Chains A and B, each alone.
Chain A
Amino acid sequence: MGVEFDHVKVNVPVVFRGPNGAAAGVAAQHSQCFGAWYSHCPGLKVISPYSSEDAKGLLKAAIRDPDPVICLENEILYGVAFEMSSEAQSKEFLIPLGKAKVEREGSHVTLVAHSKAVQTCLDAAEELSKSHIDCEVINLRSLRPLDFSTIATSVKKTHNLVTVEQGWPQCGIGAEIAARAHEDECFYHLDHPVVRVTGADVPMPYTKTLELNAIPQAADVIECVRQILNR
């Protein structure tokens, strides 16, 4: 006794999660960020949590999502503690995929990042605030879909956009954001071309000093902001 099916559609509700990007001292074969590679593919959803509430809310939402989701986690962040609101600690706490979060409000420049680079931006923002430069820091949370509308809204306010990522520059997340800025109406609100801060365009070295200089530091972000604001 058989059953006939017409037009069978099948969902692929699978989540792949694991460490992504540079750790510490693991050199060339163990340090690559795959954010750009995975977010390149239609059909996939890609999330990249920064804080503990990101990790929980995004992963929970990913598991419930009927589409394949890649969850890229940063090894260094595994060991970092974050405050969690009581809402974030509740059982049904979900973060919608494809929606970015404004981590810090500001009006002079928009800094956009994902994962560990969000911390780099927050550190830079803290330092720059002493010079009365207020940075708006956006945590992408998802790489695909990439929430450009949150970025566009911010750019219309600040008129300056800097992207920060640990991955390499060519065809990276920053490159995608810069391209979209050209294609969007927010382009006409920019006072300066989009600037990208990325990992150095080299395989990750083991040498300690070189490794530090291969990944964007807060000082790099600060330097770029000062350059484009001309202060």
Chain B
Amino acid sequence: MSTKCNAILSPLLAFGARPFKGLDIAIFSQPIVLGWPLSAGVRTLATEKTLPFNKPCKLFRLEEGPPEEGTLTHDDALSLYKSMNYIRRIETASGNLYKEKVIRGFCHLYSGQEAVAVGMRAALRPQDTVITAYRDHGWVYMMGVSPLGILAELTGRQSGCARGKGGSMHMYTHNFFGGNGIVGAQAPLGAGVAFAHKYKGNGGVSLTLYGDGAANQGQLFEAMNIAKLWDLPCIFICENNGYGMGTSAERASANTAYYTRGDYVPGIWTVTDYNLAGQVDGMDVVAVREATAWALEYCRSGKGPLVMEAATYRYSGHSMSDPGTSYRTREEIQEVRQTRDPITSFKERILSHELVELDELKAIEQEVRKVVDEAVKQAKGDKEISLEELYADVYSHPVEQEIRGTTAFRRHRHSRIGPAVNQ
């Protein structure tokens, strides 16, 4: 076949013979014969866009950093939009279930921070792992647990990802190490997982997330020290939502530039949903993705750990016990919701760049609503595990077969529900 034919056929094969419009240059190395109206009358959409980010990454102890632009395909856009919507709807449902007292204990919502989990997950490869604290529902979803698995875990029923025994703060899945209730305790664990990646030589990187409150924990600095000493493939990510429970970052930290707190560990600061000079930039979920992809490559190549600060915001209080308005104004929350919401601003952006159609987005919103509402119903109606399971899974390999109950007169058989993901 002639080279001219190839030049026509390969892009067509790549994009399934859709007509092109607005495609930026330099995507293909070969010149393209343009503009055939291959299917007359079909609405022309961009299939791909490369755009610069509104606010570049800030760098600390780095000569160069992540790219200042990212490419978003039509399918990417829909996928990111869908994920963020799922998280938002799951969190809203969780809040309502908590108010109905169907969810008990602690419940920390991720609403407003979706761009972080979604953007980062988009850059992860199969060998990478994630560990975070208690604001984990969004991450649990991104790491592969279904809405039912999450909601039923929150309601304490058997379809939950931990059979209902764990609750909000104790959710785990493949390559996801929780779900940790104690502030900052996940930092040394994350460094340990990074050590495991290095030891096993699997090229994996450990994403270790913490908040602006946990950023002052001593154990984080211990973890950073060993990670730097041993060149561990660990990205320490501070999800800075401005408040550690009810204490603002300014009142808690002597240095609020969290991406510099690693001292000898290089750092990058990336914006997830900030409004810059009146412009809304919903591509920032892509900025997070690009920054994370760059960071993953940096760590994977053996250059050691990185600190990454993602500037974000949470709409709810620290947890459902906190109204979230005694230490910040309702106006502030409203302003973020109206001008910097990661979902609505992303929606406006991808529509204005004609990457997607409004109908496609509406279809996604409907699907999300339907799936999550159904999951809520199931999570409420599902059964609890039986009482015998109180004495199950205490050990993977129990030496003694019996477990003592509340009195010496009652002994119970240990059982294994298993198998474990790392059996």
Contacts and interface: CB of A to CB of B under 8 A. Distances in A.
A27 B385 CA distance: 15
B407 A213 contact: no
Contacts of A197: 406-407
Contacts of B408: 195-196
Nearest to A30: B181
A29 B169 contact: yes
B167 A206 contact: yes
A216 interface: yes
B407 A195 contact: yes
Contact of A29 (B157, B165, B181, B390): B181
Interface in A14-31: 23-30
A202 interface: yes
A86 to B, nearest CB: 35
Contacts of A227: 409
Given A28-B170, A205-B390, A199 B164 contact: no
Interface in A197-231: 197-203, 205-210, 213-217, 220, 223-224, 227
B105 A23 contact: yes
Nearest to A208: B156
B156 A206 contact: yes
Nearest to B411: A201
A98 interface: no
A200 B387 contact: no
Given A24-B105, A206-B105, A206-B156, A224 B166 contact: no
B116 to A, nearest CB: 23
Most buried by A among B169, B385, B408: B408
Given A208-B384, A213-B390, A27 B409 contact: no
Interface in B246-295: none
Interface in A92-126: none
Contacts of B389: 207, 210
Contacts of B384: 207-210
B405 A208 contact: no
Given A24-B105, A220-B406, A210 B170 contact: no
Interface of B: 104-106, 156-157, 162-167, 169-170, 180-182, 384-385, 387, 389-391, 394, 403-409
Interface of A: 23-30, 169, 195-203, 205-210, 213-217, 220, 223-224, 227
10 contacts: A26-B181, A29-B182, A198-B407, A202-B394, A205-B165, A206-B156, A206-B165, A207-B156, A224-B407, A227-B409
Given A195-B408, A210-B390, A224-B409, 15 more contacts: A24-B105, A27-B181, A28-B166, A28-B170, A196-B407, A199-B406, A203-B394, A207-B389, A208-B384, A210-B385, A210-B387, A213-B406, A214-B390, A214-B406, A223-B409
